[in-house]
Chain A
């Protein structure tokens, strides 16, 4: 079987460093963790925080959206997919990710990027757990049953 994607260590490292830089900006300037699931959840909260600029979560998500638009124009191949994922599977996945990241207090950015370098035991355990669960899910949905995106 042909690999679907090529191993791209240089682009991955540069991209990762930019993600780290973005999270560093939030830390140094605002003193906050750049956890996307928490920030997205904060967009829908009516809680004002005197120590932060108003609706800063919406501003951050606005930056993400702007970045997505720029990528679509400047580098379309990185925002395309060759997978045909069933809408039902994708909708189920979205519900699980939304619910799970709130219950577990973070996602790949909050627990992974921001938590691991702090050597937070909670974040390290959470990251190991979601990586393990995700790898098991990919194995089951693609190699045992055949309804995953890779099968």
Chain B
């Protein structure tokens, strides 16, 4: 049952990305092209997601623990570190180059969108590069 809910969550996430066309890099680049032919759609994607998730947070607040699992694992850190800002900036440059962030890239690659098929192996390589440099245990 737990696995089924997790699978469903991934599935619904992908359908949401598809309906909003975040799976198409031109849609994302169009949003980021603030000084060109700006397409504000992505702001509405964020808006829709944030409103629904804010409701879920209210629901979670009234519960002691999630339906499965022993406790909520919600990040509590509030320290602003150089790695947070530098990491976000590096991510932003990559996002602006190809118009893919991790979720849409995985969905588009599954649907055999050509640039996503190049992007995903490289995305995973980037994750391993970070692990190799910072997480050698």
Contact = CB atoms under 8 A, between A and B. Distances in A.
B110 A100 contact: no
Contacts of A146: none
Contacts of B3: 53, 56, 59
A91 B11 contact: no
Interface residues of A, number: 116
Question: Main SS of chain A's interface residues?
Answer: helix
A26 B74 CA distance: 11
Interface string A11-52: 111111111111111111111111011001100100000011
Contact of A30 (B2, B11, B26): B2
Interface residues of B, number: 117
Contacts of B123: 40, 94-95, 97-98
Give the dominant DSSP class at B's interface: helix
B10 A66 contact: yes
Contacts of A68: 14, 18, 23, 106-111
A139 B134 CA distance: 31
Contact of B95 (A1, A44, A134): A134
Interface string A125-140: 1110111111111110
Nearest to A131: B92
Interface in B24-65: 24-27, 29-30, 32-37, 39-57, 59-60, 63, 65
Contacts, number: 525
Contact of B94 (A94, A122, A148): A94
B133 to A, nearest CB: 9
Given A11-B21, A60-B7, A117 B69 contact: no
Contacts of B72: 27, 31
B6 A9 contact: no
Nearest to B108: A79
Given A29-B67, A60-B6, A90-B100, 16 more contacts: A17-B49, A19-B13, A23-B49, A28-B67, A31-B69, A51-B69, A53-B3, A67-B13, A81-B26, A100-B91, A103-B134, A126-B85, A129-B85, A134-B96, A141-B96, A150-B33
Interface of A: 1-9, 11-34, 36-37, 40-41, 44, 51-53, 56, 59-72, 75, 78-83, 85, 87, 89-105, 107-109, 111-118, 120-122, 125-127, 129-139, 141-143, 148-150
13 contacts: A16-B52, A18-B13, A30-B2, A33-B74, A90-B115, A93-B95, A99-B129, A103-B134, A108-B103, A113-B53, A125-B84, A134-B92, A138-B34
Interface of B: 2-3, 5-27, 29-30, 32-37, 39-57, 59-60, 63, 65-75, 77-80, 83-103, 105-115, 118-131, 134
